């Protein structure tokens, strides 16, 4: 009987743990996307005074959450996102309205959302 209770408890804990991890990842991706969109907006309007602080916000967030991302998604997807973030940083700090900077930002947003999309429990992912 004890084993049944332990199994039920483990299942519930696993489900709660997964839910919390997914929630945290979702919130991190949403924040990163929001900051990246803000940077895109600023580059489009050539207002470069805020871009550095926005990119720092993304980097801080990534440093805080990257271990969770690595544990859940594996190294490859996280390395892609990290590379993309570094490229964004280089282009953004040039403080020029360049198509490369905008393209890198768009790539970064897509990479972050792809990670989240791959973990969402849905029929497409399930199949």
Partner 1 sequence: MFISLWRTFFLYVFVSVALRFMGKRQIGELQPSELVTTIMISNIAAVPIENTESPLINALLAVILLACMEVLFSALALKSRSFRGFAMGHARCVIRDGMLDEKELRSLRWSLDDLMELLRTNGIFDIDEVLFAIVETNGSLSTYPKHRFRPVDNGALNISLDGCEAPPMLIISDGNVDFAALNYCRRDKKWLDKVLASEGLKVSDIFAMSCDRDGKYKIFKKEKR
Residues that bind partner 1 (CB under 8 A): 3-4, 6-8, 10-11, 14-15, 18-19, 21-22, 70-76, 118-121, 125-126
CA distance 38 to 53: 11
CA distance 127 to 118: 12
DSSP state of 120: S
> CB under 8 Å to 52, separation ≥6 — which residues?
92, 93
Closest CB to partner 1 among residues 29, 58: 29
Question: Nearest approach, Cβ of 34 to partner 1 (angstroms)?
Answer: 23
Tokens coding 99: 């198509």
Question: Nearest approach, Cβ of 64 to partner 1 (angstroms)?
Answer: 19
Closest CB to partner 1 among residues 72, 110: 72
- Please name which of 106, 113, 87 lies closest in space to residue 39, comparing C-alpha atoms: 106
Tokens coding 118: 């791959």
Question: Nearest approach, Cβ of 74 to partner 1 (angstroms)?
Answer: 5
Closest CB to partner 1 among residues 77, 84: 77
Closest CB to partner 1 among residues 6, 90: 6
């Amino acid at each position: 009987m004890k084993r049944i209770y332990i199994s039920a408890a483990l299942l519930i804990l696993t489900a709660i743990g997964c839910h919390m991890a997914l929630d945290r990842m979702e919130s991190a991706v949403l924040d990163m996307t929001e900051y990246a969109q803000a940077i895109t907006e600023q580059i489009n309007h050539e207002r470069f005074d805020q871009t550095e602080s926005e990119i720092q916000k993304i980097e801080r967030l990534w440093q805080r959450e990257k271990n969770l991302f690595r544990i859940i998604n594996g190294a490859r997807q996280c390395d892609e996102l990290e590379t993309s973030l570094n490229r964004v940083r280089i282009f953004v700090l040039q403080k020029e309205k360049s198509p490369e900077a905008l393209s890198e930002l768009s790539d970064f947003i897509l990479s972050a959302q792809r990670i989240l999309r791959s973990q969402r429990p849905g029929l497409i992912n399930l199949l």
